[in-house]
């Protein structure tokens, strides 16, 4: 069943009645220069969140209790009806373009956005909502909403644009957003005159939610992800790049019919001194449950996966790790880093998303060290590297892993 904007259907009336649904989001072209984020808002009857915990996005991928889970780089939301708090009557799902206002982007740069609503258990598709977006000038898009109605769960296709992007959209749903990373840099406000008599100290306000992705701008800049309570959950390192072949306009148009294949990998050193590499070369995919507690998720040489490549790190075992250097490799073809427009994100629940863009390009070298992750007293210190090397040996030497290298091939 194809839905049109405004149309609703009953999920509960499907036989068998789904206990959980998946909302899978896709867009065309999949390979787009837009950075698209998916968000869900768990809302009460008055169409507002109860608190900031009801806003599910890249920095907060689950609703407490597990009723909503964001996965697959945000392309998949799983909603388990029985695990939703009784106060939640509606879940709005929206896509937003990161930095879209600032970069002058919009959903009009896509042809279509599609949502598939599936029974999470049987994987049966209950309905599909294809939405033509060509005419849309907005940077936020409310795709649809799940809602309770007379004891049943329904889905309504919306496809409504929202000007201003994620921050205004989140505010509209009642989320206390700290700052908007997507507004043009305003002139600094004039210094406020200091009051002669200190005012009574106001109670500290509830901490507003942070929308920003922390971008490590400069080489050598670093940030520490602090261990809290139980320690870290899984860290997901994603490398995305412009894979070419889309024949788009402007800058990327030159890439027509030329695919760039980047490989993501890392060198690691454990606390016990063992060191090695996790990479597609030599099928060293690693393991999450065994040392090195790092795993490379597939290796998509076809470039068909617009989601790029992923390295996962078992955060629960972070204590066992000493340091990791994450790298990218241009496996085939002339190294042209500028055209890859590559970006690395590091995500882990409860922490801001870190973003590192590959800049200061060197086109004579096919390997680029992206980031160093170091265990500092149990915390994770992430440092932007973006240093180029001819091959593994030079990279290894530069960072002192002391590995022995022989030529390898993936074929």
Partner 1 sequence: MAISLQKGQNVSLSKQAPGIKKARFGLGWDLRKTDGNAYDLDASAFVLDASGKVLSDQHFVFYNNVQDPSGAVLHKGDNRTGEGEGDDEVIEIELSRMTPNAAKVAFVVTIHDAEARKQNFGQVQNAYIRALNVDGEQEIARYDLSEDASIETAMIFGELYRNNEEWKFKAIGQGYAGGLAAVARDYGVSLG
Q: According to the binding rule CB under 8 A, does residue 44 interact with partner 1?
A: no
DSSP structural state of residue 138: -
332-361: which residues touch partner 1 (CB under 8 A)?
Answer: none
306-325: which residues touch partner 1 (CB under 8 A)?
Answer: none
Cα four-point dihedral sign 170, 171, 173, 175 = positive
Encode burial over 81-90: b for 16+ CB neighbours within 10 A, e otherwise: beebeeebbb
CA angle 384, 385, 386 (to 5 degrees): 115
For partner 1, give the closer residue by CB, 152 or 319. Answer: 152
For partner 1, give the closer residue by CB, 142 or 255. Answer: 142
Cα four-point dihedral sign 10, 15, 21, 27 = negative
Alpha-carbon gap, residue 372 to 224, rounded angstroms: 11
Q: According to the binding rule CB under 8 A, does residue 128 interact with partner 1?
A: no
User: Smallest gap, in angstroms, from Cβ of residue 177 to partner 1?
Assistant: 17
Q: Are 118 and 128 in contact (CB under 8 A)?
A: no
Alpha-carbon gap, residue 275 to 269, rounded angstroms: 4
Q: Which residue among 138, 261, 309, 387 contacts partner 1 (CB under 8 A)?
A: 138
Binding mask 161-180 for partner 1 (x = CB under 8 A): xxx--------x--------
Which range in 155-163, 287-295, 326-334, 381-389 contacts partner 1 by CB under 8 A? 155-163
Q: According to the binding rule CB under 8 A, does residue 156 interact with partner 1?
A: yes
Which range in 4-12, 198-206, 273-281, 401-409 contacts partner 1 by CB under 8 A? 4-12
Q: According to the binding rule CB under 8 A, does residue 21 interact with partner 1?
A: no
Q: Which residue among 1, 2, 6, 87 contacts partner 1 (CB under 8 A)?
A: 6
For partner 1, give the closer residue by CB, 92 or 329. Answer: 92
Number of residues that bind partner 1 (CB under 8 A): 19
Q: Which residues touch 402 (CB under 8 Å, ≥6 apart)?
A: 275, 396
Q: According to the binding rule CB under 8 A, does residue 4 interact with partner 1?
A: yes
Pairing of strands 214-215, 354-357: parallel
Stretch (H or E) spanning 35: none
Alpha-carbon gap, residue 164 to 184, rounded angstroms: 11
User: Smallest gap, in angstroms, from Cβ of residue 160 to partner 1?
Assistant: 4
User: Smallest gap, in angstroms, from Cβ of residue 112 to partner 1?
Assistant: 14
Q: How many residues does the chain have?
A: 411
Q: Are 241 and 361 in contact (CB under 8 A)?
A: no
User: Smallest gap, in angstroms, from Cβ of residue 135 to partner 1?
Assistant: 9
User: Smallest gap, in angstroms, from Cβ of residue 23 to partner 1?
Assistant: 18
Q: According to the binding rule CB under 8 A, does residue 160 interact with partner 1?
A: yes
DSSP structural state of residue 284: B
For partner 1, give the closer residue by CB, 159 or 292. Answer: 159
Q: According to the binding rule CB under 8 A, does residue 49 interact with partner 1?
A: no
Q: Which residues touch 213 (CB under 8 Å, ≥6 apart)?
A: 58, 98, 181, 345, 352, 353, 354, 355
Q: According to the binding rule CB under 8 A, does residue 130 interact with partner 1?
A: no
For partner 1, give the closer residue by CB, 149 or 219. Answer: 149
User: Reduced to 3 states, what is the DSSP secondary structure of residue 167?
Assistant: helix
Which range in 133-141, 221-229, 242-250, 331-339 contacts partner 1 by CB under 8 A? 133-141
Exposed/middle/buried for residue 372 (C-beta within 10 Å: 0-12, 13-18, 19+): buried
Six token digits for residue 198: 């200190």
Positions touching partner 1 (CB under 8 A) are 4-8, 136-138, 142, 149, 154, 156-158, 160-163, 172
């Amino acid at each position: 069943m194809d839905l049109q904007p405004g149309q609703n259907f009953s999920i509960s009336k499907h036989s068998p009645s789904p206990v959980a649904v998946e909302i899978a989001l896709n867009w065309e072209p999949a390979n787009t220069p837009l950075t698209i984020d998916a968000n869900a808002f768990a809302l009460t009857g008055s169409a507002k969140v109860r608190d900031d915990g009801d806003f599910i996005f890249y920095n907060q991928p689950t609703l407490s209790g597990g009723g909503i889970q964001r996965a697959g780089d945000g392309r998949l939301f799983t909603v388990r009806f029985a695990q939703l708090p009784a106060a939640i009557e509606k879940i709005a799902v929206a896509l937003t373009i990161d930095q879209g206002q600032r970069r002058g982007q919009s959903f009009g740069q896509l042809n279509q956005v599609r949502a598939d609503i599936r029974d999470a258990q049987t994987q049966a598709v209950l309905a599909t909502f294809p939405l033509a977006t060509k005419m849309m000038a907005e940077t936020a898009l409310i795709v649809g909403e799940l809602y309770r109605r007379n004891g049943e769960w329904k889905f309504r296709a919306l496809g409504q644009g929202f000007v201003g992007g994620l921050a205004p959209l989140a505010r509209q749903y009642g989320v206390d957003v700290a700052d908007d990373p997507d507004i043009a840099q305003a002139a600094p406000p004039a210094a406020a005159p200091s009051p002669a008599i200190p005012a009574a100290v106001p109670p500290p306000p509830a901490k507003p939610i942070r929308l920003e992705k922390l971008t490590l701008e400069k080489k050598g800049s670093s940030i520490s992800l602090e261990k809290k309570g139980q320690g870290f959950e899984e860290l997901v390192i994603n490398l995305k790049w412009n894979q070419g072949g889309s024949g788009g306009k402007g800058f990327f148009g030159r890439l027509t019919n030329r695919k760039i294949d980047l490989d993501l990998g890392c060198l690691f050193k454990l606390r016990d001194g063992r060191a090695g590499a996790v990479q597609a070369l030599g099928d060293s995919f690693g393991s999450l449950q065994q040392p090195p507690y790092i795993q490379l998720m597939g290796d998509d040489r076809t470039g068909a996966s617009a989601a790029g490549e992923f390295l996962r790190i078992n955060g629960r075992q972070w204590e066992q790790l000493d340091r990791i250097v994450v790298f990218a490799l241009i496996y085939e073809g002339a190294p042209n880093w500028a055209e890859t427009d590559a970006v690395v994100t590091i995500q882990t629940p409860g922490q801001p998303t870190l973003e590192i863009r590959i800049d200061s390009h060197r086109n004579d070298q096919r390997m680029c060290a992206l980031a160093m992750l170091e265990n500092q007293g149990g915390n994770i210190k992430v440092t932007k590297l973006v240093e180029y090397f001819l091959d593994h040996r030079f990279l290894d030497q530069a960072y002192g892993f002391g590995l022995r290298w022989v030529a390898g091939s993936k074929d």
